[in-house]
Amino acid sequence: MLSRLVRRVHMYLALFLAPWVVMYALSTLAMNHRGFFQPAQSSDEERFQQDKQQIVPLEIAGEIASADASRAVLDSLGLAGAFSARWQNGLLVIHRNDPLAPRRIRFDPKTRLATVEREALTAPMFLERLHRRRGYQHDYTLEDTWAFSVDLFIAAMLFWAGSGLWMWWEMRTTRRLGLVLAFSTTALFAILLIVL
Amino acid sequence: MTFDYFNRRLHLYLALSLLPWFLVYGLSSIPLSHGAYFNRLYEDGQPMWTLRFERSYNVPVPDDAELKTIGRRIVRDTGLTGAWGAYRQSADELHVFVYRFRHSVRVIYRIPERKLRVEDARFRWDHFFTGMHARGGFDQDSWLDDFWAVVVDLFCVGLMLWVASGLWMWWRARGLRLWGAIALGAGCATFALFLAAL
């Protein structure tokens, strides 16, 4: 009964999380071969294309905390979501980390003009950003939900390892070759740990 | 030997072969996802970096300098070994991080003063794991680093093969198709929703 339960949870969890597995595999390949997949740094003009300009009715006194100001600007533009921001030459520069449509917003507090630019997105960039997306540091429930999905994936990885070992040990005929493979690659891993 | 048999054995033996990496990537993702928590664990007054030595050093660093060349020279002249990366911290400062799984070193080159400062990192378990997680790529000079990168590639291929072989095993178990399709469909829909709404 327990064995059956372990097998079922192993499988259904894997089926549910299959898109995450594929995403992490492809993104890791892209990062491992960054030189091949990502061309040399393109210019600012090539990377960003203006989407729109809009007056944002916001009163920002001085260079207040960029996070608070950015949140207000993004809310006004209807672009709420995860971002990183900094003040640069009197402009508030916000990078809105939308996985499919990343944008850069430059807000001038003097004129209250917000310039929204779309960032050209390549498949390796898209995958890498998704791979790096994690943590509960943002103020958005949806971001926390994604972070929870990442935590679920981590828990699933540990469960797959444990349940996989359980299922392997139950199949007597696979024990010998399994032990040889597990020990030899663990030894290789230990050597790499020492020399690298 | 039938294809089903081969597929099952591939799924199993691949997992047993890549188990150390699977565990490392799983465990290291915990501190990566909860960095603030692990940082608090090490807030005990001990410095992150300890000075090993400081000495005069002279290497020209023009504004358009090829950091890789200068970094390689600094690593060679300081006698450090490991994977490294060079970063222009500011107009006056060049940083070179030399990383090994169990120990990291930071070299700070102050350009105006022509001073080289070598600092040892404090050992932290979370950094030990996250360092392994982040290591990869074929941009280092050592063949051992390339070998690690090849294993990272193999791990990625392994992940894809687990998905493919797992899907095949599920599809061949007729009694599990309905609930499996619901789980797979729900996962794909959730993932697509995240992409659209994040």
| Residue B66 backbone zone (phi > 0: left; psi -120 to 50: alpha; other: beta) | beta
Contacts of B152 in chain A (CB under 8 A): 28, 32
Q: Are the Cβ atoms of B101 and A100 closer than 8 angstroms?
A: no
Q: Which residue has the tokens 């070998």?
A: B147
Reference B152, options A63, A28, A164, A22; nearest CA is A28
Straight-line distance from the first to the last Cα atom of chain A, in angstroms, rounded to the nearest whole number: 44
Give per-residue pLDDT as tens, A11-58. 999 999 999 999 999 999 999 998 888 766 677 777 888 888 888 888
What pLDDT is attached to residue B132?
A: 94
Give me the torsion for CA of A116, A122, A123, A127, rounded to 10°. Answer: -50
- Beta pairing, strands A91-96 & B83-90: unpaired
Residues with Cβ within 8 Å of residue A185, at least 6 apart in sequence: B16, B17, B18, B19, B20
What pLDDT is attached to residue A179?
A: 95
Decide if pLDDT at A182 tops 90: yes
Domain ranges of chain A: 2-37+128-195, 50-120
What pLDDT is attached to residue B29?
A: 94
What pLDDT is attached to residue A63?
A: 58
What pLDDT is attached to residue B18?
A: 95
Decide if pLDDT at A64 tops 90: no
Question: Where is average pLDDT lowest: A86-90, B110-114, B141-145, B153-157?
Answer: A86-90
Q: Tokens at residue A130, please?
A: 């998704």
Question: Where is average pLDDT lowest: A36-40, B18-22, B122-126?
Answer: A36-40
pTM of the predicted model as reported, rounded to 2 decimal places: 0.88
Instruction: Report d(CA A127, CA A132) in Å as an integer.
Output: 9
What single-letter amino acid sits at B92? D
Q: Are the Cβ atoms of A16 and B180 closer than 8 angstroms?
A: no
Between A25, A35, A161, which is nearest B156 by CB? A25
Instruction: Report d(CA B92, CA B161) in Å as an integer.
Output: 49
A86 band by pLDDT with thresholds 50, 70 and 90: confident
B90 band by pLDDT with thresholds 50, 70 and 90: confident
Straight-line distance from the first to the last Cα atom of chain B, in angstroms, rounded to the nearest whole number: 47
Q: Are the Cβ atoms of A195 and B180 closer than 8 angstroms?
A: no
Asked if A101 and A121 count as a contact pair (C-beta separation under 8 A), the reply is yes
Phi, psi of A122 (to 5 degrees): -105, 160
B151 to A84, A124, B9, B24: CA distances (angstroms): 33, 20, 20, 13
Q: Which residue has the tokens 């520069």?
A: A93
Average pLDDT over residues A86-110: 89
Sign of the torsion formed by the C-alpha atoms of A133, A135, A141 and A145:
positive
Q: Are the Cβ atoms of B19 and A161 closer than 8 angstroms?
A: yes
What pLDDT is attached to residue A140?
A: 86
Contacts of B183 in chain A (CB under 8 A): 12-13, 15-16
Phi, psi of A164 (to 5 degrees): -65, -40
Instruction: Report d(CA B2, CA B141) in Å as an integer.
Output: 44
Instruction: Report d(CA A193, CA B9) in Å as an integer.
Output: 28
Contacts of A19 in chain B (CB under 8 A): 187-188, 191
B73 to B80, B86, B90, B143: CA distances (angstroms): 11, 11, 19, 19
Rounded to the nearest angstrom, the minimum Cα separation between B197 and chain A is 8
What pLDDT is attached to residue B172?
A: 94
Average pLDDT over residues A165-181: 94
What pLDDT is attached to residue A190?
A: 95
Give per-residue pLDDT as tens, A137-166. 888 888 899 999 999 999 999 999 999 999
A and B: number of Cβ contacts within 8 A = 170
Instruction: Report d(CA A171, CA A175) in Å as an integer.
Output: 7
